[in-house]
Amino acid sequence: MKRYLWPLALFLVLAGFLFAGLYLNPREVPSPLIGKPVPQFSAPQLAEPGKTFSPADMKGKVWLVNVWASWCVSCRQEHPLLVELAKSGQVTLVGLHYKDERDAGLKWLKEHGDPYLLSAHDRDGRVAINFGVYGTPETFIVDRQGVIRYKHVGPLTPEKLRDDILPRVKQLETAAS
């Protein structure tokens, strides 16, 4: 009677794979940038176009890069969390203002609060390409040596922040400087 169990076994294996697949997120593509130095660039600052920002300015610090835009709906969703995070002073945030008008960006920050030390203005999205950005918002953790340690695609949630982002930041900060 064993042969009649074969289709059942096959079905169970297939069902197992499909069930596991339900919990995978096809939008989460592993980034090849993790473990690599943060891309070098020099971009005008959003608030002060006369000044530029370059990742080298952050050397020796653990910091977050957060890619955002005023047209990005899910950025709005995660924004209160970032404002709160900035207030708590646990980590420095640098914004990458992605493919957006300067005025729109400044107005948006005024309205919803500005959690960033500063934002680099990436008007044509070229800097973001070097970061492998494909869906705003995206958040990167950069360590003291300027190496990207973690990447999150999509809006941050309090759980994500508590369980994944902040523990990593803590760990990197206590690591030998």
CA dihedral 151, 155, 157, 160 (to 10 degrees): -10
Q: Rule CB under 8 A: is residue 42 a binding residue for another protein? A: no
Q: Which of 29, 56, 73, 104 is close enough to bind another protein by CB under 8 A?
A: 29
CB neighbours of 121 closer than 8 A, spacing ≥ 6? Answer: 43, 44, 45, 46, 49, 97, 102, 105
Q: Rule CB under 8 A: is residue 99 a binding residue for another protein? A: yes
Q: Tell me which stretch binds another protein (CB under 8 A): 27-35, 74-82, 107-115, 161-169.
A: 27-35
CA-nearest of 64, 44, 67, 46 to 54 is 44
Q: Which of 43, 47, 92, 132 is close enough to bind another protein by CB under 8 A?
A: 132
Q: Tell me which stretch binds another protein (CB under 8 A): 14-22, 51-59, 113-121, 129-137.
A: 129-137
Q: How far is the CB of 43 from another protein (least distance, A)?
A: 16
CB neighbours of 133 closer than 8 A, spacing ≥ 6? Answer: 67, 96, 98, 125
Where on the chain is the footprint of another protein (CB under 8 A)? 26-27, 29-33, 99, 124-126, 129-135
